[in-house]
Amino acid sequence: MRTTILLLVIVQVVLGNKTYSIPNFEANWYKAYEYCLSKDQRLATIESEAESDAVIQFVKNSDKYGDRIRFWIGAGDLAQEGTYTWTSTNKLLKYAIWGKNEPNNRYGNEHCIELYHRAEIWLWNDHVCEYEFYFICESFTAVCDSN
Ligand SMILES: [Ca+2]
Ligand SMILES: [Ca+2]
């Protein structure tokens, strides 16, 4: 019995048990990044299909949900063109759901990643970091990583 409880706790930590929030204003990627940190959170990291599903479900239940919506998430290739990392953790992207022909670094000026929704399809795109979009913060109290 005690073992079972312990296992349940571990599973919950490994899955992250994240909580998400969408602040009620639009910001460029840098300001979004800073704002999440200022709330002891971070710009959302999505490292698995399960996390992607959780984020999408959260957005669907939020007042920002609709067709043709987009949100900054915490990834980009700001440090080195073409090398995409989760900025908060400096980990390379392993899981990704890029849109068709993305990331394309259009005009050589797209270095920040958005999650966008169009006609029930949710995908990622690299976009211009200075553009102001809504963004998704996540709590990150649990640090448990096998890597
Ligand atoms: Ca780029
Ligand atoms: Ca793009």
What are 32-91's pLDDT values in tens digits?
999 999 999 999 999 999 999 999 999 999 999 999 999 999 999 999 999 999 998 999
Sequence-ordered list of residues with C-beta below 8 angstroms from that of 144, at least 6 positions apart, any chain: 10, 13, 14
Q: In the predicted model, what is the mean pLDDT of the chain?
A: 90
Spacing, Cα 92 to ligand 1 middle (Å): 14
Total number of residues shown for the chain: 147
Spacing, Cα 103 to ligand 1 middle (Å): 8
Spacing, Cα 128 to ligand 1 middle (Å): 9
At 71, phi and psi to the nearest 5?
-140, 140
**pLDDT at position 140, please?**
78
Q: How confident is the model at residue 147 (pLDDT cuts 50, 70, 90)?
A: low
**pLDDT at position 88, please?**
87
Q: How confident is the model at residue 3 (pLDDT cuts 50, 70, 90)?
A: low
Sequence-ordered list of residues with C-beta below 8 angstroms from that of 56, at least 6 positions apart, any chain: 115, 117, 122
Spacing, Cα 111 to ligand 1 middle (Å): 4
Q: State which residues have CB under 5 angstroms from ligand 2, the bound ion.
A: 102, 104, 106, 110, 125-126
Q: How confident is the model at residue 14 (pLDDT cuts 50, 70, 90)?
A: very low
Spacing, Cα 43 to ligand 2 middle (Å): 19
Of 88, 83, 58, the residue nearest 73 (C-alpha): 88
